[in-house]
Each structure stands twice: as C-alpha cells, then as structure tokens.
Structure 1
C-alpha cells in the first residue's frame, strides 16, 4: 500500500499534476512574486540612473512591415482569404475528429507529428495524455499553416520572403506550448512535485540575469562561475610579446626541440574571442599545433569601446594583421610565415592578402581559411539582418554609441537556432529552476565582444550587402582588390552544417581564388567542425573532390575520411613549406620582451 492507494490500483495519471503540499506552493509563489519585483527593479534601474536602454523600435518596425506584406497579400483578395481560412479550418476539423475518436477509445492516426529530432515534445505525455496531444498537434498545424502562407505569398522578393519566414519561425518558437507551465506536461509535473520551488528559483535566476545584463535579459546558457580564462580555459603556455590599441600578439612556447622554419600567425574573428582555438588542453588547436612542431602566434583583439569607434577595416588590417606579421617574423627571425583566418578574421585576412599582392608584399607563404567567406551570395540566415533599411538603422545606433554591443550579436546568432540556443535554456533556467550544465563552449559563446562602428558598418555594407570583394569592386585603402589577387596556396575549410558560413558559400568563394585552392569539408558545424581534435575521433572530413562543378558534384567525387581534418592540414602545411627545421623558439626571440603571460589581459575584457 502506498500513500495514494494499494499496489494493485493503477495510479491515475492526473495525480502527477496535483500539488502535494499547497502550503509550500503558496510560500513559493510568494517568493516568485518577490523575485519578480527584483527583476522589475533591475529592469528599471538603468532608466532611474539616467542611462539609455536599448531601443528595439527599429527591429519591431521591421518585423511589422515584413509580416504585414504577407498579411496584405492574403487579405487583399477575398478568394485567397477564404482559401487560407478553409485550409486551416480543415486541418482543425481533422484534429477535432481525431480527438473525438480517441475519447471514444478508437484508434486514430495523428493529424500532425513533430519533425524528427524535435526535442520539445519528447515527453511521453505529449502523446499519451489527450489534452497535451491536442495542444501539440494544434500548435504544429497552426505554425505550419503560417509558414506555408509565407512561402505561397507571390508578390514577395526572395529576401523579404526569407525575412518573413525567419520572423514566423521566431514567433513559432516563442509560442510553443513546450515553453509554458500549464501547457507542458513535464513542467507541470515538475511544478507539482516541487510545490512551485522551481518557479521561485527560476524567477530568482531571471532577476539575476536581468541585473547582470544591466536591465536587459542576459540569458545564461551555462554556469558562468565554473570557467575562468587563464585558469581553466586558454591554458597553452605563451607570452604576449607586443600590443597596440587594437590587439595583442601572443607567441606560444615551443613544445618540441625543433620546429618548422616558417611560423604560423592565426587571425581569429573579432566578433568572438580567440580562445575558442585554445579552449582547454584536450580541445586546443593551438596546443596541438605546437605539439606538431609549429611556432604559433595569435592575434588577440581588444574588446572595443567608444574610443575605437572610427577603427575601420583598413586599420584592422594595418594594426592587426600587418602588426601581427611584422611581429611574428621578427620574433621568429623568419622571412615568410603561414597564416590562418577564422570566420570574419578569414575575410579580413583574404582582403589583406589581396592587398599585399597588389603592393608586391610576398611575406606570406600560404593561407588556411576556416569557415571564412569571401563570396556572400549564399551567406545564410545572417543576411536576413542586412538590407538597406536595417543597415541604415543599425548604423544610426552604432554612430550614437560608437560600437555595436556584443549582446546584440550574440542574440542574432542565438536566434538562428532559437529552438536549440534560446528556449531550452529559458525553460530549464526560469521554469524548471535548474542551473544550466557547465559547458566550456557555451561559456565562450556568451563571452561576447563589441564591434567598432566604422569597422562593422564597412563589413556589413561591403560584404553582406554589396558583395564587393567577390565582384572585384572593393576599394581597400585606395586599391581595387578581388579574390583572384590571392595566388598563394590556400587550404579552405568549410563545415557541412554551418549556418553562419554555409558550405556552399565557402565553396563558391573557393572558386574565385587566383591560385591553388584546396577545398575541404568537415562534419558538424561552425565551431564543432573546426574544434575537432584527432584524439576525439569525431565526425569526418571530405577531401579531393572535383571542384569544377557544383558542391554536390564535389561531394560525390570527394574522399571521406573518419575523424579530424587537423592531420590532413598538417600534412598539407608540410608539403607547402621549405622543410627546414630550427631550434624551438622562445617567445619574443631576441627582439621582444614579454609583456605578460598568455592569454593576456585583452581577452579578459568584459562589458
């Protein structure tokens, strides 16, 4: 006999949703209200102190303008209106019929089922309890109907259609019944079994995250107290040997007695911090390179503020890449080096290499691009945020502050995968009241950086909006440059599931280069596909395909190899070097004194 009945009596599923301790539930609700007031105070504090809060009016206007075009199309013609309404009504009637048959105890096939891999509806009660099954199917029917309306709106240009589809997906993700206590069986059971303690703790976390964001919600995706840069992240030994207003140059300690004569300079993105390539000893590309006998230099970009507002692409080239090349060659006592550019760092590096060739500068031996775009025709969902109207609005905001806040970029990236990077954490943190799992990659993802106004505006306008470099129409520091100016050997890495630099975009750009260009495709996405140490034996890599046709044709003719692409790259580097070895180098060589230990203070800057 248990407290609810005999062991012979099946437990009524409804009992799973009944609160065991009403008194404790009432106390937890009171705590939740108390923490809600704290959240309101944290939200209002910047205004009370005279600080200007983020203005989202331009974004809201853009949403309304785009979605209203879809609505106008379907409402302008009574026949189209009736057809759209009839389609939805027919599906709802089918759902009603399904529900009635289930109530009568008959077998019935669902009207709508989640897509494979949709994690929101994994709980068995979404299917076994009719109330939740009805909610789930009603949601799926309605959202798919709305998405269909966007696709069938005939008078939209393709960019506007993609924007409308993106906005509908965001609304669909936000309104999912899985996000609310009373419409999610798992959350209801959690609340009942814990007498609302989860709601009180979740609201406390919500208030803390609003306060941490200085009036804006700073969603935590991992436990921020578990990670410290320089303590359990970015641990490869080295020294900062030079610095200027925009960056520090790190040289890492040699890990072998002799090293390749040609050093490597890595140009990471300034949109994120460089230590994604030195996350921890097991995942560090930097450490692995030093263990293979390479001398590695890293650019560590400053986290800019209003004093960097006028730093543009040209200055990032001169004070970043050129400063890094000069420093590395002097410290290594070498004549040439190999370069690596990751994401937007690769875009800047590509333009800089084209410029260097036009200037007759031959100090770079080869370049490796990691998920870097030079042709932005197929640049993925990030293009949705860049058109003439949105860019003008963004430029106004950046001019007012001198920079784009890092949280804005982080939000944009998270919105691309809202059902993976936003709503699961909202549910886990603020409704379940559970601390997120410590995950180094997500900590790095949340360690956002600002973008100087001039630099970011130049990048968005000349690449995402006008694609000038691929067209051969980019005027850079007074010089016309194009991808065909890059004639040194290129190792060009794309990732198969990349939503930031899609494989097609990287492949198309590869065909524009002016010399030997080895296209390589890896499994997984923008980060995991790159940060894939050989010891982990994860994913796969495709090489050697026929690049004369489409990406699909390249895939059909490429060789697939299990595991990491790093060893293939190492062999490629060896084949494009002199083969000479020199004694392992000390950071700074005979030219520079160490300023501080790696990873340096620039990467620790947070705002």
Structure 2
C-alpha cells in the first residue's frame, strides 16, 4: 500500500474518490465486471460457431421444457398414464414435493434450465480472459438467483402452503424478523440469538492461563488434564480474520479440549482485534510479534523442547512463511507442521479470487487507507455472495417468507464474532499472496530476505475440506509440488469451518488420508482422490496418532503454567478475544 506521507495531492484526491465510491458499491468494483462483460460479449460476437451451439442448446432446452410442461399438465388433469414426468434437469434446491407439482414444476425447471444455459454461455468462448469469463459467470448466477421462483411468495409452493395453513401469520413473523435484522445491521449489533452465547460462559471454556501479551497477541497456555503429557508442545496459530476460539468451542466440540485430554501441552495465539491505531502493522509484524514472540514464550516455559506448529487458514499460511524463514536461517525449533485449510499456492484460489484484481484492490485499499482497517462485514459479504443460495436466499426465504428463524449454534455464534484486519497487513497479504503468488514463486520477503517453501524438511500433516469455498482443497494440495518434505494429506468432509470442527462421535463424517514420502512421484489431486480409500468418522484421532507416531517418545510430567521469570497475566480466554 502507498504511504499517505509521500502521496501527491492528485493521488490523495483519487484515493478519496475511490474510498467514496467503495462506500456506495459496498467495496465491489463496477469497472471489473464491466470489463469482463465487454470481453465476453465481444469475443462471443466473434465466435459464430459458439453462438450456433448456444442457439441449439436453447432450442433443445425449450423443447424439453415444453414436453415436461405438457406431461405435467396432463398428469395434473388426470389425462395421463400413471407415473411422474421426469424433469430435464433435477436440482437439489427444488427437491421438496411441492416443487414437483404442476405448475411449480415448470417454473423451477424454467429457472434451472436458464441457469444451465448461462453457465454454458459463459465458458469456452474463444479469446476470453479466464478471470473475465469467471466473473461474467458469477454475476450472471447472482442475477439469476435474485429471480429464482423460490424467492417469491407467489411462486414458492412451500410458502403458499404455509400461508394457507397459518392464515398469513408466517409473513407477520417474517416481517418482525426483518425489522429486527435491519435494526441490528444499522446499529452494528450481532445477529439474533448471539446473546445466548458468550466467551467464557459457554464458549472457550478449556482451562488455561494467558502467559504472554504484546500489542498484537496474547498467548494462552492450557492447563494439563492428564498425569503425564507428550514432551513436545503444540503452538496453534489461528487466522487473524477470526477469533481463535473456533478451535475451543463448547465442551465436546473443542479441538483444544480434545488435544489436552489426549495428553498434549497446548499453546494458542489469540490475536488482537485491530483498530485504526494498528493500521501500519504488516505481515512482518505478524511474523515478529505473533509467531516469533510466541515461540520465545513457549521456549521460556519449556526450554530445549521442539514445538509442533499448527496453523489454521491464513494462520497456516503465516506459519508456513515463518517455518520457511526459520529453515532459511537454520532455526530448528519446530518439530513438525500441521496446516488446516491453509493455502500456500494462490494460483487457483477458488471463487474468492473473483474479488481480487487490480480494480477491486484499488477500492479496498482506498477504503482501508482512510479507515485504517478492513471491516469484518466486508469479508463476510464476499463469502455470502460466493454461497448466495446457502447463506443468503434460502435463509431469507426461511426467515422472512416461512417465518422460521433457526436457532443459532455455537459455530454460528463464533462466525458472527468476526475481527477487523489492519490496512497494511491485509493489503500486503492480498497483493503479495493472492494477486502475485509471491510465496509459491519464491519472491516473498520475510525480514527483508526471500523465503522458499522448498527449504522445508519437516514432516507435515495437511488438512483440506471437500466443500471449502475459502481454501479449496485442490489449492491446499498444491503444497505437494512446492515442498519436498513428507506430507500426510487428509481430505475431510465438510467446509472450511465445519470440516475442521469435527469431534469424534458426530455422524455423517468421513475422510481420506495418504502420505507422500520424500522423493515419491507426484500424484495429481483427482488421481489422489480416486485412489485414496474413505475412512468413516472424525480425522482428529488420525492426527493424534500421527503426532504420537511421528514425534511421540516417552511422556513426561506436565510443565508449570507460565515461565519462572514472567508472571501469569490472567485466566483464559484472555482480554483480546473479548474486543469488539
């Protein structure tokens, strides 16, 4: 990011204009999708063969829809033979029985077929930039989703049935919920139901002590719960865009609690929720004040012991950079690396990359330069758009049309307790990693010198999740061709959060796991997926076994809480996690 002190008056004017524009567009670039649309439309106009294919597809879909509508009408009129007409393109969003009845069956299929046509129309057009094609496809899907028959009360059979059964009371409840949500949005209040959850009351309850604090993080040491422990401790580095206690939710669903009960000495970083005064903190500051200070504090409590580094999401990316810098400098304090849903190669970051280009970053950087940080709701809005059906439209239908407000659970309450991001750090992160992919290309500078993931020789345990929209598992898997170390790769069911918070005993969980030894030929992601057997249950015990097998050794007496020379600063979960 630019330094305001060196900007010319014209640069400051442009920054102010971009910041004002970002406020009107909710930080979304209007230029980027416009350029994408021009690119796509112009090249489609120069592709007569592709236009013929799309015209033929439209004719085919129209014929299929007409036949489906006819058969449905005949059946509804009692004029057809027994049997339900099969839709041309079944879709899980319209699986409810009411959607199979005429005329709703025709409405939903008209929408699904139109959506499929646009998905086909925005791909494989000669000459279109890949990013532009994906942008056009994304925005076409967003606009179509807005007009889905499921979102309208008069074309949704489930809403009509509920309205008739309740005499319209569902709309009254929905209106009350809508007013409440708008008030909360305008005042910055958390979502309804959040009041039932509180850190230290029914969240983040694993006993521990804050043993170190600086201007960026608190380090928590968790109290032992076994008579003896593994000799080498674990240091957990969460992402700075989230509160750390996703790994210490309610008892029974806390990974930290599980690790302590298995005999591990666990330390966890709790990041400060930054404000404007932290605007100049960058990635190097997070490495220095975060990981480096945390390792020094752990070493003071357990001198001479190696440490198992554990990083989640961006925390895993940061930990990978720190580990590569330590390898570069001959620092051997790490015993192993465990990465949860963490990318190190950003060349294919998934749909989140739709929001990262020069046009988009210019708006974000202008806003962050003026405010000093990126608001949590800006990041949340991008995630909502990536999964608009699951996180936006279906929720609105359920709450505002059906009048059903689902109860908040612990994971949802955590998700609403988001954090801000310092302007410099987030700008550096987006540009150096997402936009330029400096870490994977060997250009990333830590402490002023380049780091390379190829220097890493530590055994690694790497977890990807099957339905991750933030760190797609194939992107996480790319570490295999960046690093020569032994990698135990695990692919678990679930998404970016629910796939990681996967305690033993939960139903409908499974994972795949295989180890790539140093020197072993590279296996492509799909080949790995097809050739790796499925194991039912949680992956947590498999990780615990890996830690014991790879770096176990004899168990020892639990360490004291805190260092002799530094007093304990207070009880877990500490102060920083409570900041709003």
TM-score (norm 2): 0.88
The offset of 1:496, in angstroms, is 2.9
The offset of 1:542, in angstroms, is 1.8
2:480 to 492, 507, 510: 510
Instruction: Note if 1:274 corresponds to 2:244.
Output: yes
Instruction: Note if 1:136 corresponds to 2:136.
Output: no
CA distance, structure 2, for counterparts of residue 498 and residue 84 of structure 1: 31
Deviates more, 1:360-369 or 1:569-578: 569-578
The offset of 1:148, in angstroms, is 1.6
Matching of residues 421-500 of structure 1 within 5 Å: 421-500=391-470
CA distance, structure 2, for counterparts of residue 202 and residue 496 of structure 1: 34
Secondary structure (helix, strand or coil) at the match of 1:59 reads: coil
Deviates more, 1:368-377 or 1:200-209: 200-209
| 1:392-425 C-alpha deviation (Å, 9 max, x unpaired) | 2221221121111111111222222222122121
CA distance, structure 2, for counterparts of residue 344 and residue 205 of structure 1: 34
Secondary structure (helix, strand or coil) at the match of 1:293 reads: coil
Match in the other structure for 1:175: 147
Match in the other structure for 1:3: none
Match in the other structure for 2:527: 553
Deviates more, 1:557-566 or 1:184-193: 557-566
Q: Is the 8 A contact 1:332 1:588 kept in 2?
A: no
Report how many aligned residue pairs link the two structures: 550
Q: Residue 440 and residue 75 in structure 1: after superposition, are their counterparts in 2 closer, same or farther (change >3 A)?
A: same
The offset of 1:334, in angstroms, is 4.3
2:229 to 254, 259, 269: 259
Instruction: Note if 1:123 corresponds to 2:99.
Output: no
Q: Is the 8 A contact 2:480 2:522 kept in 1?
A: no
| 1:271-327 C-alpha deviation (Å, 9 max, x unpaired) | 111111111111111011111111111001111111111111000000111111111
Match in the other structure for 1:601: 575
Match in the other structure for 2:387: 417
Instruction: Note if 1:563 corresponds to 2:537.
Output: yes
Deviates more, 1:206-215 or 1:556-565: 556-565
Secondary structure (helix, strand or coil) at the match of 2:285 reads: helix
CA distance, structure 2, for counterparts of residue 559 and residue 91 of structure 1: 39
Q: Is the 8 A contact 1:331 1:589 kept in 2?
A: yes
The offset of 1:563, in angstroms, is 2.1
Q: Is the 8 A contact 2:27 2:363 kept in 1?
A: no
Match in the other structure for 2:9: none
Match in the other structure for 1:591: 565
Matching of residues 73-84 of structure 1 within 5 Å: 73-74=43-44, 84=54
Q: Is the 8 A contact 2:27 2:364 kept in 1?
A: no
The offset of 1:577, in angstroms, is 3.2
1:63 to 33, 45, 54: 33
Q: Residue 548 and residue 253 in structure 1: after superposition, are their counterparts in 2 closer, same or farther (change >3 A)?
A: same
Please, which runs of 5 or more residues in structure 2 have no aligned partner?
Answer: 1-19
CA distance, structure 2, for counterparts of residue 211 and residue 76 of structure 1: 50
The offset of 1:516, in angstroms, is 2.9
Instruction: Note if 1:234 corresponds to 2:204.
Output: yes
Match in the other structure for 1:311: 281
Q: Residue 86 and residue 365 in structure 1: after superposition, are their counterparts in 2 closer, same or farther (change >3 A)?
A: closer
Instruction: Note if 1:204 corresponds to 2:180.
Output: no
Match in the other structure for 2:89: 113
2:118 to 138, 146, 155: 146
Instruction: Note if 1:407 corresponds to 2:377.
Output: yes
Q: Is the 8 A contact 1:544 1:557 kept in 2?
A: no
Q: Residue 588 and residue 79 in structure 1: after superposition, are their counterparts in 2 closer, same or farther (change >3 A)?
A: closer
Q: Residue 98 and residue 281 in structure 1: after superposition, are their counterparts in 2 closer, same or farther (change >3 A)?
A: closer
Match in the other structure for 2:357: 387
Q: Is the 8 A contact 1:255 1:293 kept in 2?
A: yes
TM-score (norm 1): 0.84
Q: Residue 279 and residue 323 in structure 1: after superposition, are their counterparts in 2 closer, same or farther (change >3 A)?
A: same
Q: Residue 305 and residue 124 in structure 1: after superposition, are their counterparts in 2 closer, same or farther (change >3 A)?
A: same
CA distance, structure 1, for counterparts of residue 478 and residue 153 of structure 2: 46
Deviates more, 1:495-504 or 1:483-492: 495-504
The offset of 1:165, in angstroms, is 1.6
Match in the other structure for 1:9: none
Q: Residue 113 and residue 558 in structure 1: after superposition, are their counterparts in 2 closer, same or farther (change >3 A)?
A: closer
The offset of 1:495, in angstroms, is 2.4
Secondary structure (helix, strand or coil) at the match of 1:233 reads: coil
Q: Residue 98 and residue 262 in structure 1: after superposition, are their counterparts in 2 closer, same or farther (change >3 A)?
A: closer
Match in the other structure for 1:185: 157
The offset of 1:391, in angstroms, is 1.8
Secondary structure (helix, strand or coil) at the match of 2:229 reads: strand
Q: Is the 8 A contact 1:331 1:591 kept in 2?
A: no
Q: Is the 8 A contact 1:354 1:481 kept in 2?
A: yes
CA distance, structure 1, for counterparts of residue 225 and residue 362 of structure 2: 49
1:539 to 505, 510, 521: 510
Which has the higher Rg, Structure 1 or Structure 2? 1
CA distance, structure 2, for counterparts of residue 247 and residue 377 of structure 1: 30
The offset of 1:474, in angstroms, is 1.3
CA distance, structure 2, for counterparts of residue 424 and residue 81 of structure 1: 34
Q: Residue 591 and residue 510 in structure 1: after superposition, are their counterparts in 2 closer, same or farther (change >3 A)?
A: farther
Deviates more, 1:192-201 or 1:89-98: 89-98
Match in the other structure for 2:549: 575
1:299 to 269, 280, 288: 269
Q: Is the 8 A contact 2:279 2:424 kept in 1?
A: yes
Q: Is the 8 A contact 2:488 2:513 kept in 1?
A: no
Secondary structure (helix, strand or coil) at the match of 2:122 reads: helix
Q: Residue 167 and residue 55 in structure 1: after superposition, are their counterparts in 2 closer, same or farther (change >3 A)?
A: closer
Deviates more, 1:588-597 or 1:275-284: 588-597
Please, which runs of 5 or more residues in structure 1 have no aligned partner?
Answer: 1-49
Secondary structure (helix, strand or coil) at the match of 1:213 reads: helix
Matching of residues 17-96 of structure 1 within 5 Å: 55-56=25-26, 58-74=28-44, 84=54, 87-88=57-58, 91-92=61-62, 94-96=64-66
Instruction: Note if 1:161 corresponds to 2:161.
Output: no
CA distance, structure 1, for counterparts of residue 225 and residue 578 of structure 2: 25
Secondary structure (helix, strand or coil) at the match of 2:556 reads: strand
CA distance, structure 2, for counterparts of residue 518 and residue 78 of structure 1: 49
Q: Is the 8 A contact 2:336 2:458 kept in 1?
A: yes
Instruction: Note if 1:525 corresponds to 2:498.
Output: no
